[in-house]
Structures are given as C-alpha cells and as structure tokens.
Amino acid sequence: MRKIWPYKEVVASKIVWGKVHVISTQNIIPDQFTTQIAIALSLAVIGFIIVMALDRFSKTQS
C-alpha cells in the first residue's frame, strides 16, 4: 500500500540537468476527508473483497 498511496510529500529531491528528480517521499494523510478520499478508500476495500472472493472461489474449483 505504501507504493500506491496517492498522497505523498516530497522529502528530498535533486536537480540533474535542469530537471527535478525525487529521491524520497513520505506518505501523508490528508487534512480533510473529501469525497475523493471516500471514493479511493471505498475502491480499495472493494478491490480487496474481490481478490479475497476470487481466491476463495479458485480454492473450491481445485
């Protein structure tokens, strides 16, 4: 979940050949609970449920 978390803060960056390259980021929790956050969390839960259901279904078919 750490890699796909959409809310990140750049901790360190480096400028190479005039372009900014991010070296490290830190995950943050947004200050406000918006509709966008609710949708993102709902989709994550739905995705988890689908994966678990498919895993259970595949075990019964074997």
Only one residue has tokens 């988890």, namely 48
Do residues 21 and 38 both lie within one domain? no
Do residues 4 and 24 both lie within one domain? yes
pLDDT band at 62 (very low <50, low <70, confident <90, very high): low
Do residues 14 and 1 both lie within one domain? yes
For position 1, what pLDDT does the model report?
56
Do residues 20 and 39 both lie within one domain? no
**Contact assessment for residue 25 and residue 13, using Cβ atoms and an 8 Å cutoff:** no
Backbone φ and ψ for 33, nearest 5 degrees, come out as: -90, 105
Do residues 10 and 23 both lie within one domain? yes
pLDDT band at 2 (very low <50, low <70, confident <90, very high): low
Rg (CA), the chain: 18
**Contact assessment for residue 9 and residue 24, using Cβ atoms and an 8 Å cutoff:** no
What is the domain extent for residue 6? 1-30
pLDDT in tens, 8-39: 888 898 989 989 898 888 888 877 878 888 89
For position 58, what pLDDT does the model report?
87
Do residues 36 and 62 both lie within one domain? yes
Do residues 21 and 42 both lie within one domain? no
